Structure 1
């Protein structure tokens, strides 16, 4: 399910950023991604997105990152560690829709220094973010 089709979505509360490799939603406590089918989400794309996040929120922001994996794409799990130098993402949730995505998220979890929650629905991921101690 796409974020815009979720009852939680309100276009007045989220900034929608469309990139050639996916769509991103900037909210109060999280950035949500929906990458395009077949994309290889490499480090230059991640840095491009991080620059947009910092321009939008400022370099001192503390956010969660929700990856809504509705399409199949590839990524380098080592990028999770590279993100830590920016110190802006405090936790991540990965919304998975099949067994292969679950296995990939499990592998990524091993590479990340920050918490990564595997979720089976977008609603579960959003609720988890709002319950994080970093935001309460």
Structure 2
């Protein structure tokens, strides 16, 4: 299920950002990312994403990132440490996984992350985890 079809989407009514490689939903506390099938996420795409979302989050000092992996795509796992160093306002990330391949990839990515990165089995679990982070309470 896509985020746009969830009850949480209807409650939060987030800003939607469409980029050539995915759709992103911007809420007060977090971004939900749905990368398109077959994409490869590299540093250029991450930079473009943050350039585009910066105006929305101009006064935000804390933000979480939820990677909602409904499609099959690849990620350079080493970008996690570069991402965390460059965008220090990202306090934590969640990866929502739906199959064993995504679980294995998320486990490798978690190894490279310096900040909290949780692997979740549902979008609801990821959102609940983010909403209960100590950084937001």
**Over the residues paired in the alignment, what is the CA RMSD in angstroms?**
1.3
Q: How far off is 1:10 after superposition?
A: 2.2
Runs of 4+ residues over 3 Å off in structure 1: none
CA displacement, residues 54-84 of structure 1 (integer Å, 9 cap, x when unaligned): 2210275210000000000011011111112
Aligned length, in residue pairs? 136
Kept after mapping to 1: 8 A contact 2:12/2:27: no
Secondary structure, counterpart of 2:109 in structure 1: helix
User: Taking structure 1 as the reference length, what is the TM-score of the superposition?
Assistant: 0.95
For the residue of structure 2 that corresponds to 1:113, the secondary structure is coil
| Conserved? CA contact 1:30–1:66, under 8 Å | yes
Which segments of 5 or more consecutive residues in structure 2 lack a partner in the other structure? none
- The alpha-carbon distance between structure 1 residues 12 and 101, as it changes in their structure 2 partners (threshold 3 A), is closer
What TM-score, normalized to structure 2? 0.94
For residue 49 of structure 1, report the CA deviation from its aligned partner: 0.4
Q: Indicate conservation of the 8 Å contact 1:61/1:88, yes or no.
A: yes
